[in-house]
């Protein structure tokens, strides 16, 4: 017998939702109002499209005065200032920072930067009035999830709707909310920060139900854009070489494939050096250029989590950080056997967590049903309650908690709760982990 627990609560119309893209060099903030489809990005200068907030702090010597973003960059060269950049990397490393004769926790500095930058949202809602937030970052490993969890706890957010996703999933969320003719075939996003080129290629397998979406990532470290301080002739030659290399990369990627649209992202494309590459791309594809796709995608990701769209229900994205199999259990509810979902494929492993209670009679085991989305056979996994004490109770109540420690590792914890006042719990607890496809 299964004892279901209700979970979650929905937002109300008019709730403020924020997508925060935290980057090593720049960060961005986008927002939307729950119940509306439009997503806007906060400009650092009102009336412009200057969305980049330099991820930087600067402390004045001898006093507790801090600057962030453009003000930090502007003051960094002064003798009485102590600049701090690469803040997300420092927080991930977890090493304390000595600054102006004091020692600082890098996670606290990242919290300070995010809190100060979130003040740009005050014309919509102060931090404590934000109803949901999605943080997105280029590399979202377990350490970065831990860092952002600590930051979220210290921001004073009064909402349970706090989520994290990588740039790859934010790209998927963004595309999901674009006109379908733009992603009828494959989609390519090229991100260039001036030093490196990262390409995302999104492909849908329309032969599956729901449609499985895969995104391939490739990094190119040699396509470097020259600095403005270089001589004009050197810049021209470097731009020409970059254009030739970029064209070659695109031709190889598009060969034998239908590509509906291409997105050029980042400051690396602002100089307009990609002349031949654009000619190639624009022949039979839609091409867009901008730099706020990931923060907007984080907002769309929030919408999908809280109220999935039709496209969201019909598609499932299988990224590298996601569970790639559905996990559930066959149970008796109201006298009928049914399947109850525990962990759903297509969700990031670090956000999967399920708790439920169930009853067993004299059985000392139960089975989980594992259904891979890659077409492999359905598996069953027996959870043995070894050395469980014999009881005269007609049933024993158990509490089960499931979570994941990695994208392919499930951890199951089962606790004996007894059965009412006459048959108290013996305190037994079982825990085991297993791999999933």
pLDDT tens-place string over residues 262-306 = 999 999 998 899 999 999 999 999 999 999 999 999 999 999 998
User: Is the pLDDT score of 2 beyond 50?
Assistant: no
16-160 and 322-435 have identical folds: no
Instruction: Indicate the length of the chain as a whole number.
Output: 437
**Within a 10 A sphere around the Cβ of 301, how many other Cβ atoms?**
26
User: Is the pLDDT score of 255 beyond 90?
Assistant: yes
User: Is the pLDDT score of 4 beyond 60?
Assistant: no
**pLDDT band at 333, cuts 50/70/90?**
confident
Q: Give me the pLDDT at residue 225, please.
A: 84
Residue with structure tokens 């927002």? 31
The closest alpha carbon to 174, from 56, 291, 345, 26, belongs to 291
**pLDDT band at 11, cuts 50/70/90?**
confident
State how far the Cα of 62 lies from the Cα of 60, in Å rounded to an integer.
6
> What phi and psi, each to the nearest 5 degrees, are found at residue 6?
-75, 140
Architecture of domain 322-435: Sandwich (2.60)
Q: Give me the pLDDT at residue 429, please.
A: 92
The rounded Cα 84 to chain-centroid distance in angstroms is 25
State how far the Cα of 294 lies from the Cα of 317, in Å rounded to an integer.
16
> What phi and psi, each to the nearest 5 degrees, are found at residue 95?
-90, 135
Q: Give me the pLDDT at residue 185, please.
A: 97
Architecture of domain 170-296: 2-Layer Sandwich (3.30)
State how far the Cα of 299 lies from the Cα of 133, in Å rounded to an integer.
8
Mean predicted lDDT score pLDDT of the chain? 91
Buried b (16+ CB within 10 A) or exposed e, 334-346: eeeeeeeebbebb
Q: Give me the pLDDT at residue 388, please.
A: 67
User: Is the pLDDT score of 5 beyond 70?
Assistant: no
Cβ atoms of 90 and 55 within 8 Å: the answer is: no
Q: Give me the pLDDT at residue 421, please.
A: 66
Cβ atoms of 36 and 13 within 8 Å: the answer is: no
Task: For domain 16-160, give the CATH superfamily.
Answer: ATPase, nucleotide binding domain (3.30.420.40)
Cβ atoms of 368 and 329 within 8 Å: the answer is: yes
pLDDT digits (tens, 9 = 90+) for 376-397: 789 999 999 887 666 666 788 8
Query: What ranges do the domains of the chain cover?
Result: 16-160, 170-296, 322-435
Q: Please state, for a pLDDT cut of 90, what percent of the chain lies above it.
A: 68
Q: Give me the pLDDT at residue 381, please.
A: 95
Residue with structure tokens 């990005």? 41
């Amino acid at each position: 017998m299964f004892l279901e627990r209700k979970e979650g609560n929905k937002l109300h119309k008019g709730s403020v939702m924020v997508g925060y893209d935290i980057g090593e060099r720049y960060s961005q903030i986008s927002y939307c109002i729950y119940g509306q489809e439009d997503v806007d990005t906060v400009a650092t200068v009102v009336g412009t499209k200057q969305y980049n907030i330099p991820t930087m702090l600067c402390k004045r010597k001898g006093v507790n005065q801090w600057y962030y973003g453009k003000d930090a960059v502007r003051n960094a060269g002064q003798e009485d200032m102590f600049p701090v950049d690469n803040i997300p990397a420092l927080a991930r490393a977890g090493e304390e920072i000595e600054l102006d004769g004091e020692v600082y926790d890098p996670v606290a500095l990242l919290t300070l930067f995010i809190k100060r930058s979130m003040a740009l949202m005050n014309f919509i809602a102060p931090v404590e009035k934000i109803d949901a937030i999605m943080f997105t970052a280029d590399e979202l490993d377990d350490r970065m999830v831990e860092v952002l969890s600590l930051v979220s706890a210290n921001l004073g957010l009064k909402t349970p709707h706090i989520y994290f996703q990588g740039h790859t999933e934010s790209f998927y969320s963004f595309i999901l909310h674009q006109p379908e003719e733009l992603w009828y075939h494959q989609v390519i996003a090229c991100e260039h920060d001036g030093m490196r080129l990262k390409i995302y290629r999104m492909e849908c397998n329309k032969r599956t139900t729901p449609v499985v979406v895969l995104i391939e990532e490739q990094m190119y470290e040699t396509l470097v854009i020259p600095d403005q301080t270089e001589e004009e002739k050197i810049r021209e030659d470097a731009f020409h070489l970059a254009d030739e290399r970029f064209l070659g990369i695109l031709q190889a990627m598009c060969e034998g494939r239908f590509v509906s649209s291409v997105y050029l992202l980042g400051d690396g494309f602002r100089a307009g050096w990609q002349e031949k590459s654009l000619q190639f791309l624009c022949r039979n594809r839609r091409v867009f250029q901008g730099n706020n796709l990931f923060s907007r995608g984080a907002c769309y990701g929030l919408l999908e989590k809280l109220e999935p769209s039709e496209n969201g229900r019909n598609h499932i994205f299988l990224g590298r950080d996601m569970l790639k199999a559905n996990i559930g259990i066959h149970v008796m509810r109201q006298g009928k056997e049914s399947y109850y979902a525990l962990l759903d494929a297509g969700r990031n492993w670090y956000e999967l967590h399920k708790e439920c209670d169930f009853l067993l009679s004299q059985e000392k085991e139960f089975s989980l049903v594992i259904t891979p989305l890659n077409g492999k056979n359905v598996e069953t996994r027996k959870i043995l309650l070894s050395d469980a004490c014999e009881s005269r109770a007609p049933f024993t109540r158990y509490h089960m908690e499931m979570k994941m420690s990695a994208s392919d590792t499930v951890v199951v914890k089962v606790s004996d709760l007894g059965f009412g006042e006459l048959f108290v719990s013996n305190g037994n607890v079982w825990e085991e982990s297993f791999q999933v496809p």
